[in-house]
Amino acid sequence: MQASSKRMKVAAVLKFIRKQLARFWKPKNEPKPPAKEEVQHCDPECTNVQHVSVCEYQQLSEPHLMPPPVKPEHSIKHECRVEDSLGQNVESQEPGAETVHDLRQQLSKVAARGAEVLSRLRDAEEALARRLHKQSLDRLLLIRLEEENARLVAQVNMQERKWQEKFHHLVSLNNVLLREKEQEDLELERKALKTMIRSLEKHQKTQKTFQKRTQLIKKISRKYPNHRHKHV
């Protein structure tokens, strides 16, 4: 929006410069063209003559405002008429040199103002281009950062899945080892119980044999009371 408004301002300034140039090169002592009312009250033949005279008047007085002809020989004549008209305009405006000088100063000021506006417009366009370039670079950088972030997130998620798999594997291995250890402990307890049972059985056997021996000794002592002290 700012660039379009500045361009419109520049176009208005150029239009004003063209108007001032047209006023500057317009001769002062020029014959007036016939009025429309006079043309309306004339005959057709007179109207044609007046129309031709108006065209000739414009060719003679303002050839620089007429469109250039198509044929090359006519264009040469047109250029000569334009040069002559411009020279006559300059010569005719020599008495009012102060006005011409003031007008030239105004035109120079307007031209300087237009050049300044154009330079500002170019600077604004360059600044806008730099800003757009920076915005495009920022967008590219943002896109790259988002891609890098997505890649890092995917990598972290993959590592997390791997660690979870390792953790579950270690938990299952720990459970297996605990079961094996429990089985080993059970086996050890069974062996200890078996040894205890065997020792108890041996103890019972020895106790039985001891009881048998004591009973036998008692029988012998009863049967042979005199030899009791000897056995003891």
203 within some domain: no
Does some domain include residue 83? yes
What does the CA dihedral 57, 61, 66, 69 come to, rounded to 10 degrees? 80
Decide if 177 is inside a domain.
no
Contact of 130 with 65, CB cutoff 8 Å: no
CA atoms within 13 A on the CB side of 71: 3
**How many structural domains does the chain have?**
1
- 129 found inside a domain: yes
pTM greater than 0.75 = no
3: pLDDT confidence band, cut at 50, 70 and 90? Answer: low
pLDDT in tens, 47-58: 444 444 444 545
Q: Is residue 78 situated within a structural domain?
A: yes
Any domain includes 19: yes
pLDDT winner (highest mean) among 53-57, 58-62, 122-126? 122-126
Residue 85's domain spans which residues? 2-137
On whether residue 53 sits in a domain, the answer given is yes
Residue 85: exposure state from Cβ atoms within 10 A (0-12, 13-18, ≥19): buried
Is 25 a domain residue? yes
